[in-house]
Structure 1
């Protein structure tokens, strides 16, 4: 019975993670009309830390000391402040949610390339094939968004947004590898609390220096804030840390190939973004690639 439950959880947790993580890109589009990016992220991270504080205190989770504390802080700054700062900056500068998801979807190949020198993990030929197939599927899903139009680099945005997306990709990739290499054995709840706390402290100066810190407290903004705090910052991030702890870096990273297709589905359902036959075929290709790359 234990094996069955473990096998079932190993299938449910990655699927749940993909759905939650994908909703974050759509959530960014929902809240940014009412708040500037760094202001919103500082608020989101601060609220998440407050939500996690009583949980950590009730569990009496041990605080990491010395080098472990430093590693948890560094990993948190990369996975939260650096990565999400780049994502929200790019969306705020006009990049579509689906396209920033595509850029983040390049993470599996970058992770696989860095996993050997940093973690000693050597992806198999089958895994490399799955990663390549997943990349093809992702490009098929969002390929129509890559055509230049007018005087912009892409449709509706320029170099600053692209730079934010690429910085987000690097932050997420290096952050997950760093988490896998240096943060094993640290309580997940305490690690999350510390990481969101230091990420709040990192983004507050940017909000004060670069933004007006004006927020329109509409019903849509409040709903988006609640979801991004509870569903994303608590739920999805906890699942990511758990999956990193339990699996290989390349296997976990391959799940990010499913994020752009699922994000495209959500954007189609919520914002009527186009989703044609090529995109549907790309979803099938990306899913096949992930199945190959994630298989042990």
Structure 2
């Protein structure tokens, strides 16, 4: 089922799906701000995953999607535990301990982890343009992080939690890629989400306790996180991942910091400073570089 990006049409479809993922994941940061003020990290992760599991489970029933084959399960379980489960709890908790700028810089180690692990374990190699683009994008993410950092509000625990989030995110993506050779994107996403929900079930008591006390806006934001940045965005992610390399997909997520800045500007009226805008532009430039194919001859002018 795995389709590599040899066909330009396939690559365009993958890029479109990845772009939707980036926008939805960026919007999640705005929703998390509201929900995290009223839900503990584990409770928020469980509520988000329960919502996503219900939506994706309904899709499975309506489309009568079969059970994933045996060969897909190692990747599904690994990505479910690492990415859907541990990542979401660690990120929610870490962002309570450090400022947003520090969190963004540390978590953006994730795509580098993806490139290294996929190059080694998945035999994708280390394309020079991909590595160069990731280097440029990471520099841009660091600029965005520095420009939005409040300073003095970081803790060792918070940095370690964000680092754990980056590592589990990277490892989860690399585990997901082989599963797509056996199962469809909707199967890999849905059963990975089910697995993450089981991992976060120990926080059910917290969720039941905090649900009646939280304002409606916080709960609606948690539901939004489940339906769109999780159920929909993870589905478009796996669709794109099945059609391109894990390294390229990881590099594409460097567009998230720039998109977060834009959404916060439009939705929250948070006007970014020039340094933030510069960092966002560098991130996008790096993504463009990472998706270039070396050795392509320049287009000939029409005569």
Question: TM bucket by the smaller chain?
Answer: 0.7 to 0.9
SS at match of 2:36: helix
2:37 aligned with 1:15: no
Instruction: Give secondary structure in 2 for the equivalent of 1:33.
Output: coil
> Partners of 1:270 and 1:52 in 2: how far apart?
28
1:209-231 Cα offsets, whole Å, 9 max, x none, are: x8884233423113212311111
Change in Cα spacing, 1:144 to 1:86, as seen in structure 2 (3 Å) is same
Q: What does residue range 67-86 of structure 1 map to in structure 2 within 5 Å?
A: 67-86=71-90
- CA-CA distance at 1:94 after TM superposition: 4.7
RMSD (CA atoms): 2.4
Residue number in structure 2 paired with 1:214: 210
Is the 8 Å Cα contact of residues 72 and 195 (structure 1) preserved in structure 2?
yes
**Is contact 1:129-1:293 (8 Å) kept?**
yes
Deviates more, 1:57-66 or 1:232-241: 57-66
CA deviations 1:22-51 (Å, max 9, x no partner) are 112222111011211111211221222112
Structure showing the higher helix proportion among its residues: 1
Cα–Cα, structure 1 residues 4 and 139, in superposed 2: closer, same or farther, change >3 Å?
Answer: closer
Deviations 1:49-83 (A, max 9, x none): 11222211222212124343243122111111111
Q: C-alpha deviations, 1:148-198, integer Å up to 9, x for none?
A: 42xxxxx2x312221211111001100101111344231222332222222
In structure 2, distance between residues paired with 1:202 and 1:52: 17
The number of residues matched between the two structures is 286
Q: Which structure 2 segments of 5+ residues have no match?
A: 1-6, 294-303
* Deviates further, 62-71 or 48-57: 62-71
TM-score (norm 1): 0.87
Kindly indicate whether the alpha-carbon contact (under 8 Å) linking 2:112 and 2:134 is maintained by their aligned counterparts in 1. yes
TM-score for both structures, normalised by structure 2: 0.85
Distance, in Å, in 1 between the alignment partners of 2:227 and 2:270 is 26
Contact 1:61–1:187 (Cα < 8 Å) also in 2: no
Gaps of 5+ in 1: 150-154
- Say whether the 8 Å CA contact 1:80–1:196 is kept in structure 2: yes
